Structure 1
Amino acid sequence: MEFIQQNWYWAALAAVSGVMLVVTSLRGGRGISPAQATALINREDALVVDVREAAEFTAGHLLNARHIPLGDLQKRIGELEKFKDKPVILNCQSGGRSASACAILTKAGFTNVHNLEGGIEAWVQAGMPISRQKKK
């Protein structure tokens, strides 16, 4: 007890971290690293869906990513129907919006949904390539 009183900020940090972990896992989807995402794309032809806004997407996105902003996901979910049982990787800037998108797809019956942990920021930090071209 004395340790916690003297180091209350570490205890608070641990508690907040635990709560964030629980909230993320309840949102749906499994978190995957950039390396795991690359393997899923290469081995299982995973679909990548970028849920950021248009300006963010244009600034740089994963190769061959499909752009569906989070605000439009519910009304455009039909575009993804044929991928319901295939791996789908969702990404945003840092992982928060894509976690929400994972929950939406999971609720809609998608069975193999993944959240790119850390979003495009983690992707770039891992030295992975990005594209600035619009998908045709």
Structure 2
Amino acid sequence: MSFLIQNWLLILTALVSGGLLLWPSLRGGAGGGVTPSEAVMLMNREKAVVIDVCEPAEYEAGHIAGARSIPLAGLAEAKNLPSNKSLPLVVVCASGMRSGRAAAALRKLGHENVQSLKGGMRAWREAGLPLQTGA
């Protein structure tokens, strides 16, 4: 017991650092999501719909074939989201940061199976997967 009292600051520091390490995986944020190869499997096997939340200029510069362009700012009022809320969705952006927020927003809208693409379009390009340009 005296050890705990004498080293309370050390113990507190260890608990806080452990909590900070676990936080991304607990909330499903930047650390969560699917890899490009997992996204391709979802698209091919489960007919996942790809939602690109990049701005229009980013989307035109290069996007996944068949992706629906819905910028993050307009996600809540978007008309071209799938009406079947159990259909798998893969959300993508340039780096993977916006897609994490978009995935959380889509879950709040009632979509059951939403995944963010880890690393975004950068990871897609690095994996050598095909891109489509233009609108």
| TM-score interval, normalised by the smaller of the two chains | 0.7 to 0.9
Question: What CA distance in whole angstroms lies between the structure 2 residues aligned with 1:85 and 1:92?
Answer: 22
> Does the 8 Å contact 1:50/1:90 carry over to 2?
yes
* C-alpha displacement of 1:18: 2.0
**Structure 2: runs of 5+ lacking an equivalent:** 1-16
Report what 1:38 is aligned to. Answer: 40
Instruction: Determine which of 19, 24, 27 is the counterpart of 1:21.
Output: 24
Report what 2:11 is aligned to. Answer: none
> Does the 8 Å contact 2:54/2:72 carry over to 1?
yes
Question: What CA distance in whole angstroms lies between the structure 2 residues aligned with 1:95 and 1:110?
Answer: 19
Task: Tell me which structure has the larger Cα radius of gyration.
Answer: 2
> Does the 8 Å contact 2:51/2:92 carry over to 1?
yes
Question: What CA distance in whole angstroms lies between the structure 2 residues aligned with 1:126 and 1:114?
Answer: 18
Report runs of 4+ in structure 1 exceeding 6 Å deviation: 14-17
**Structure 1: runs of 5+ lacking an equivalent:** 1-13
TM-score by length of 2: 0.78
1:51–1:16: structure 2 CA closer, same or farther, 3 Å change rule? Answer: farther
> Does the 8 Å contact 1:24/1:99 carry over to 2?
no
Question: What CA distance in whole angstroms lies between the structure 1 residues aligned with 2:134 and 2:93?
Answer: 17
The aligned amino acid for 1:21 is P
* C-alpha displacement of 1:82: 1.3
Question: What CA distance in whole angstroms lies between the structure 1 residues aligned with 2:49 and 2:75?
Answer: 15
The aligned amino acid for 2:59 is F
* C-alpha displacement of 1:45: 1.1
Report what 1:48 is aligned to. Answer: 50
Aligned residue pairs total 119
Alignment root-mean-square deviation, CA: 2.4
Structure 1 residues 33-85: Cα deviation after superposition (integer angstroms, max 9, x where no partner): 00000001011111000000011000000011000000000111x43141311
TM-score by length of 1: 0.78
Select the structure that is richer in helix. Answer: 1
* C-alpha displacement of 1:21: 2.3
Paired residues for 1:1-136 under 5 Å: 18=21, 21-22=24-25, 25=28, 27=29, 31-76=33-78, 78-134=79-135
* Helix, strand or coil at the partner of 1:75: coil
> Does the 8 Å contact 2:52/2:69 carry over to 1?
yes
